[in-house]
């Protein structure tokens, strides 16, 4: 098992310090974001590449292109700009999230969006990480549906799955597709009072012994099925973001997961 860090684990930490935090934890793989924090909108990509090289970390992905499955409005331009940025900063992949507002998106539109993304990613040597969102309002909830659309778009060589333990639990999907998965996001929910259908991003904390999502069981199953990619911490809770010592908190979560899995 190897871990990675998504910058949302400590969004108040400046980018160079975030890279140093990863190295301090013995990690060499990181994810940067265009929202919390907005590295893409505030850093020159060449400077990001230089800082990553200086720290000795690999940028495994940029989070995220949204909503990738609605190819209209400014999405095509944003997709091009994000792909250019990823290539320039040395990132390996783009995370692609579906529309998540209760609006249904036709399968034909999903396939068409994947077809449009293929040359954008391929020309830049990038992988598209399709991340189904398990929320009830999500337009793409399961990995099975994502894989079927990828096959219809003839995109097996361009797209891989992103397995998020939070969204996997919310969706109710049981299949894992470890051989089609390139990245796993891990976060836990410990609030005993929130129902599964009411779980939202702010409930997502670091994984500990009180986790209700079955992170350890999911990790064990993925490893047993042959998954060999990173497990990247992605907690959205403001409680985590406010921690005075996020590095120590992540280390404690790493120790828990490693010991339990």
Terminal CA-to-CA distance of the chain, rounded, Å? 9
**Domains along the chain with CATH numbers:** 2-260 (3.20.20.150)
* Omega of the bond leading into 67 within 30 degrees of 0 (cis): yes
Share of the chain above pLDDT 70, in %: 100
Q: DSSP 3-state assignment of 205?
A: strand
- The secondary structure of 147-172, three-state, reads HHHHHHCCCCCCEEEEEEHHHHHHHC
The closest alpha carbon to 220, from 261, 167, 182, belongs to 261
User: Using one digit for the tens of pLDDT, what is the confidence trace for 97-139?
Assistant: 999 999 999 999 999 999 999 999 999 999 999 999 999 999 9
Q: b or e along 49-84 (b: 16 or more beta carbons within 10 Å of the residue's beta carbon)?
A: bebbeebebbbbbbbbbbbbbbbeeebeeebeebbe
Beta bridge partners of 129: 95, 160
Separation CA 146–CA 156 (nearest Å): 11
Q: What is the pLDDT of residues 153-188, one digit of tens each?
A: 999 999 999 999 999 999 999 999 999 999 999 999
Task: Give the chain's length.
Answer: 261
Q: Give the model confidence (pLDDT) of 46-67 as tens digits.
A: 999 999 999 999 999 999 999 9
Instruction: For residue 84, give the nearest of 131, 37, 31, 48 by alpha carbon.
Output: 48
């Amino acid at each position: 098992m190897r871990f990675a860090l998504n910058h949302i684990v400590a969004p108040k930490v400046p980018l160079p310090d975030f890279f140093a935090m990863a190295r301090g934890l013995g990690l060499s793989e990181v994810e940067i974001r265009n929202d919390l924090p907005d590295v893409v909108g505030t850093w020159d990509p060449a400077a990001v590449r230089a800082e990553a090289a200086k720290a000795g970390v690999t940028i495994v992905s940029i989070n995220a292109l949204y909503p990738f499955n609605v190819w209209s409005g400014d999405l095509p331009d944003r997709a091009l700009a994000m792909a250019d940025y990823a290539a320039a900063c040395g990132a390996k992949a783009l995370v692609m999230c579906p529309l998540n507002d209760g609006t249904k998106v036709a399968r034909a539109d999903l396939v068409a969006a994947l077809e449009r993304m293929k040359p954008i990613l391929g020309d830049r040597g990038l992988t598209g990480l399709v991340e189904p969102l398990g929320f009830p309002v999500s337009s793409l909830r399961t990995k099975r549906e994502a894989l079927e659309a990828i096959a219809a778009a003839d995109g097996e060589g361009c797209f891989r799955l992103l397995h998020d333990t939070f969204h996997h639990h919310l969706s109710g999907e049981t299949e894992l597709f470890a051989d089609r998965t390139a990245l796993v996001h891990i976060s836990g929910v410990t609030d005993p009072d929130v129902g599964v259908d009411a779980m939202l991003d702010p409930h997502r904390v670091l994984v500990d012994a009180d986790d209700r999502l079955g992170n350890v069981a999911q990790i064990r199953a993925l490893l047993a099925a042959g998954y060999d990619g990173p497990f990247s911490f992605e907690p959205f809770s403001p409680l985590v973001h406010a921690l005075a010592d996020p590095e120590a908190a992540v280390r404690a979560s790493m120790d828990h997961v490693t010991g339990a899995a």
